[in-house]
Amino acid sequence: MQVLIIEALLLLFLIFVTVCILISKDILACTIIYSAFSFCAVLTYFMFGSPDVAFTEAVIGTMSTIFFVAALKKVDRWCK
Amino acid sequence: MSNESNKMKKSFGGIVLDSSFRIIIPFTLVYGMYILTHGEYSPGGGFQAGALLAVGIVLVRLIQGADKKSFNVPGPIAVVCAGVGTFIYAATGWLTLAGGGMFLDYSFLPVPMHHEAELHALGILLIEIGVTVCVMMTIIDIMDAIIERLDDDKEVDYHE
Amino acid sequence: MTIITALFCACTVFLPTIGDPNSAPNQHVTPYYIENSAVDTGSPNIVTGTLADYRGFDTLWETSVMFVSGLTACLILMANTGEKQQGKKGGKKREQ
């Protein structure tokens, strides 16, 4: 039952983080919140018992955050 | 945003970044090799190992700048190596064909081994090396393209 | 749109429970993999054994798809830099 509660909390937090990304006007903040989303996804995958997928998600989350921040130098930071 | 901050080919490391660089980068690279060679026994495999190695090299490139020759892979060589990684995978399949089996049937690898499972482990290691090289070089490639594009038009005014 | 979303959400009730050993995907070929993977592929990790050995052909084309997509992204980024030197914003400022 405890595991179920943690799963429910993690999934709710995933939805919350996604809504935060959608309504944020600052693209840099979106990128950083996206890395938080990826970390939550890592924890969720661990809960469901698939360390392979969790490891991939951890590495690719780091990687894509670097990519997004590097690409952010090209575009405007604030949504209009 | 000033013009200096856009020259990503130059190093922007201070003393903190340089010190942490010396600790983190060797750990990342060695851990990537561990994930690659130990992928059959623990979580991991070719994709994760390639991404870890690429993270190591991209961090080197971010902290020390792309001019440094240490741990650096130039862009054209990265493109060629990504193709070579895919070729290693396919070449393993052709090796099993040459050994008399079906495509990617590792029992027919032309290597003297005692047990069939050892042949399978060797085949898995070979194709994981291929996947690792492909993923690592692809990620380095995309990073290279992004950074070159940034350097190319760094005179653009960003906040008009 | 809302009705479609509600329909999709309602359909999740009929999905099998997570980790249910009697559900349809866990009946067909999974027990064979779980029992024989260590002997067949020589690796105790079932995920690696399945990805690299039983489904090796899929992984080959997965790798080549990754290579081609990376190449395409690289080419698109490079092509835009080339056009910008002649044309729009960056080119004009470089000429001055």
Chain A residues in contact with C69 by the CB 8 A cut-off are: none
On the question of pLDDT at C90 being above 60, the answer is: no
**Residue B4: pLDDT band with limits 50, 70, 90:** very low
Residues 6+ apart with CB under 8 A from B7: B151, B154
On the question of pLDDT at C22 being above 90, the answer is: no
Residues 6+ apart with CB under 8 A from B153: C81, C84, C89, C90
Between B44, B138, B152, which is nearest C67 by CB?
B138
Chain C residues in contact with B90 by the CB 8 A cut-off are: 60
pLDDT at position C77 is: 81
pLDDT at position C91 is: 37
Chains with 3 or more CB pairs under 8 A to chain A: B, C
A48 and C47: CB-CB below 8 Å? Answer: no
- Across B1-15, B45-59, B124-138, C64-78, least confident range: B1-15
What mean pLDDT comes out for the span C57-69?
Answer: 90
**Angle between helical axes of B46-64 and B116-152 (0-180°, round to 10):** 30
User: Would you say the ipTM is above 0.85?
Assistant: no
On the question of pLDDT at C94 being above 70, the answer is: no
Establish if C77 touches chain A: CB-CB under 8 angstroms: no
Nearest chain B Cα to A78, which residue?
Answer: B159
Secondary structure string (H, E, C) spanning chain A = CHHHHHHHHHHHHHHHHHHHHHHCCEHHHHHHHHHHHHHHHHHHHHHCCCHHHHHHHHHHHHHHHHHHHHHHCCCCCECC
What mean pLDDT comes out for the span C61-75?
Answer: 89
C18 and A48: CB-CB below 8 Å? Answer: yes
Nearest chain B Cα to C53, which residue?
Answer: B124
Residues 6+ apart with CB under 8 A from A24: A30, A33
Q: What does residue A78 show for φ and ψ, rounded to 5 degrees? A: -105, 135
**Residue A70: pLDDT band with limits 50, 70, 90:** confident
Tell me which residue of B74, B66, B67, B59 sits closest to B26, measured CA to CA: B59
* Residue B131: burial class (beta carbons within 10 Å; 0-12, 13-18, 19+): buried
On the question of pLDDT at C32 being above 60, the answer is: yes
pLDDT digits (tens, 9 = 90+) for B117-147: 788 888 888 888 999 999 999 998 888 888 7
Best interface-test mutation with A: which of B55, B59, B156 has the largest number of A CBs within 10 A? Answer: B55
| Dist. CA C62–CA B56, nearest whole Å | 24
Chain A residues in contact with C48 by the CB 8 A cut-off are: 52
On the question of pLDDT at C17 being above 70, the answer is: yes
pLDDT at position C81 is: 58
pLDDT at position C6 is: 93
What mean pLDDT comes out for the span C65-89?
Answer: 71
On the question of pLDDT at A56 being above 80, the answer is: yes
pLDDT at position A32 is: 92
**Residue B153: pLDDT band with limits 50, 70, 90:** low
As given in the structure block, the two tokens for residue B4 are: 């200096």
Mean pLDDT of chain B: 78
B145 and C73: CB-CB below 8 Å? Answer: yes
Chain B residues in contact with A70 by the CB 8 A cut-off are: 8, 143, 146-147, 150
